[in-house]
Amino acid sequence: EPPVVAIVGATGVVGREVLQCLEDRGTPVASIRLLASARSAGQTLSFKGAHLPVEEVADHQFDGVNIVFFCAGATVSRRYAPVAAKAGAVVVDNSSAFRMDPTVPLIVPEANGSQIVPHAGIIANPNCVAAIATVVLAALQRCWSISRLNLVTYQSASGGGAAAMDELRDATSAKLNGDDYAPNAMPHPYAFNLFSHNSDVDGETGYNGEELKVIEETRRILSQPKLPIGVTCVRVPVLRAHSIALSVRFDHFVDVEQVRARLENAPGVRLVDDRDSNHFPMPSEATGEYDVLVGRIRRDLGDPTGHTIAMFICGDQLLKGAALNAVQIAETLLALGAAQEAA
Ligand code: 2RA
């Protein structure tokens, strides 16, 4: 029978998106328990026309629950995900807390959905860039051997949460109105600016935490632990869709038309690659979409061997980059009957 579902961090931007996905997709649920911090408890959120109360998260709240979505950051996941798993629920964790734990599957259903079992009660949802990129990369990897990757990302404010989205809106309108504006939720000015969006830079490599996550998680999802990956992550003044300039080097020469044909039929991908009308993936068209948009497919002129194909990708950061992927993980579990087994 349908599962009892809980969402921890229900009032956050990702938690709200999970609830919306469950409603839009008609994912079968027996009931939904909305959980949040004491500060956010007491609100109600709408689901299928009903107003559901948001309660304060506590250990006993996981009794009788089959699937719990964690959307409240790594600290909350570390504190409560093991409690939920112990109570018999399967946890789908959107935080980075367990992504590199070998006992925790790190899953993008279109890429490595078969690796969702066996699990020990927790399944990790990847970093949004890794999730969006591996939908495309896995489709290519099934046909040709990948020998290196290069990514440059253009990451939306939604990756920084509701406060960052509000700051983008406020900073942009202030700039347009000629008002003074001091950044508060983000480390640097948001309007009409680009910046590296987190401060934990690795002393040895000079790569920041976001870039190292993209490398580690992409390797894990593709099961290529030694795959050389170069990446530069940039925060851009876009609301909720990430873009990625991606270069894929293969072990041998691959025809551009074959790559295009493969991606045209890939699950979770929509080709937007019209050179005549200069119509290519844009965040404005990826926003609100389940599919990852791919275009600008061409031979990379930077590789004299001809083995590298360049492309441009856009994906909704809150959907395929977070909430949709988490709900698809839950749907995969339900299809396997694995959610009830764990309960
Ligand atoms: C970001 N991927 O975009 C990180 C967290 N969602 O900020």
Clarify whether 314 is annotated catalytic.
no
Smallest CA separation from ligand 1 atom 3, residue? 159
With a 6 A CB cut-off, is 108 part of the ligand 1 pocket? no
With residue 223 as reference, give the H or E element that holds it: none
With a 6 A CB cut-off, is 210 part of the ligand 1 pocket? yes
**Token pair for residue 95?**
């935080």
**ipTM score for this prediction:** 0.95
29 appears as a binding residue in the annotation: no
Q: Are 254 and 209 in contact (CB under 8 A)?
A: no
Set 21, 128, 233, 314: catalytic member: 128
- Tell me what pLDDT residue 186 has: 75
- Tell me what pLDDT residue 338 has: 59
Smallest CA separation from ligand 1 atom 1, residue? 159
Report which residue type is found at 109. P
Distance CA 130, CA 118 (A): 22
Query: 3-state DSSP helix/strand/coil percent for the chain, to nearest 5?
Result: 35, 25, 40
With residue 49 as reference, give the H or E element that holds it: none
39 appears as a binding residue in the annotation: yes
Clarify whether 307 is annotated catalytic.
no
With a 6 A CB cut-off, is 243 part of the ligand 1 pocket? no
155 appears as a binding residue in the annotation: yes
Could you tell me what percent of the chain has a pLDDT over 90? 89
pTM above 0.90, yes or no: yes
Sequence-ordered strand ranges (E) for 11-163 = 31-36, 44-47, 50-56, 67-70, 90-93, 122-124, 146-155
Q: Which atom of ligand 1 is nearest to the CA of 156?
A: 3
Distance CA 33, CA 216 (A): 33
Distance CA 269, CA 283 (A): 15
With a 6 A CB cut-off, is 325 part of the ligand 1 pocket? no
299 appears as a binding residue in the annotation: no
Distance 127 CA to ligand 1 centre (A): 7
- Tell me what pLDDT residue 343 has: 40
Distance 25 CA to ligand 1 centre (A): 24
How confident is the prediction along the chain (343 residues), in pLDDT tens digits per residue?
899 999 999 999 999 999 999 999 999 999 999 999 999 999 999 999 999 999 999 999 999 999 999 999 999 999 999 999 999 999 999 999 999 999 999 999 999 999 999 999 999 999 999 999 999 999 999 999 999 999 999 999 999 999 899 999 998 998 889 988 887 777 788 888 999 977 799 999 999 999 999 999 999 999 999 999 999 999 999 999 999 999 999 999 999 999 999 999 999 999 999 999 999 999 999 999 999 999 999 999 999 999 999 999 999 999 999 999 999 999 999 998 855 454 4
- Tell me what pLDDT residue 320 has: 98
- Tell me what pLDDT residue 277 has: 98
Tell me how far apart the 2 most distant CA atoms of the chain are, in Å.
61
Three-state DSSP at 19 gives helix
- Tell me what pLDDT residue 339 has: 55
Three-state DSSP at 265 gives coil
With a 6 A CB cut-off, is 94 part of the ligand 1 pocket? no
Q: Which atom of ligand 1 is nearest to the CA of 322?
A: 6
The total of other beta-carbon atoms located within 10 Å of residue 242's CB is 29
Distance 94 CA to ligand 1 centre (A): 11
